[in-house]
Amino acid sequence: QGIDVIKDDRPGRSTGEIDGHLWGSMDTYQYMAEIQNIVLDAAIERGADYFFSLDSDIILPDNAITDLISYMEDDHPGVVAPAVNLTVGDKAWNTMSWTTRDFPEMGHRPLGTPASGRADVVLAAMLMDRWGMEAKYLAHPQAHDVGFCVMAERLGIPRWWVPEVHCQHLMRRTLL
């Protein structure tokens, strides 16, 4: 089994099912968090120094991983994310801010392109060092990646966003 994508050329996200779970539901996010944690735990068990999580419809530019590792090793530990536009047409970058500092649970998208540096929430592509791998994926109404960032926030693990490393996002077959 795998992803069954239903053709949807309207702006926004395609709908579909992942192994019988409706995309965008808490059930799906729980399922995806469990899968991500299995792979993350396997990397930890094997003594990996880094773990890179990447959505399957994202193409990395040449040297992306080495550039992200260099950024991380230049005093940016924890979790580092390249830039990924999450929409077709408009810009909605793969970073969000907490809606409130007192309750870091829900994110909102900033307007425009945020500057490189510290981010509350990163999505879709994340490089983690051993410290970053201490956080686990959680089901969350805004996606399992947001749940991961909630856990990282609770553990004091910083998240960084690097727009200088810009990925291509193939959200529709027409973009191939």
Burial class (CB in 10 A: 0-12, 13-18, 19+), 144: buried
Residues 4 and 115 sit within 8 Å (Cβ to Cβ):
no
CA distances (Å), 161 to each of 1, 12, 22, 91, 129, in order? 33, 23, 29, 15, 15
147: which 2 tokens? Answer: 């749940």
pLDDT 10s digits, 16-28: 554 554 556 778 8
What is the rounded average pLDDT of the residues 68-85?
Answer: 95
132: which 2 tokens? Answer: 């970053």
Can you give the pTM of this predicted structure?
0.81
Residue 163 has pLDDT above 50, yes or no: yes
pLDDT 10s digits, 41-72: 999 999 999 999 998 889 999 999 999 999 99
Q: How confident is the model at residue 110 (pLDDT cuts 50, 70, 90)?
A: low
Q: What is the CA radius of gyration of the chain?
A: 16
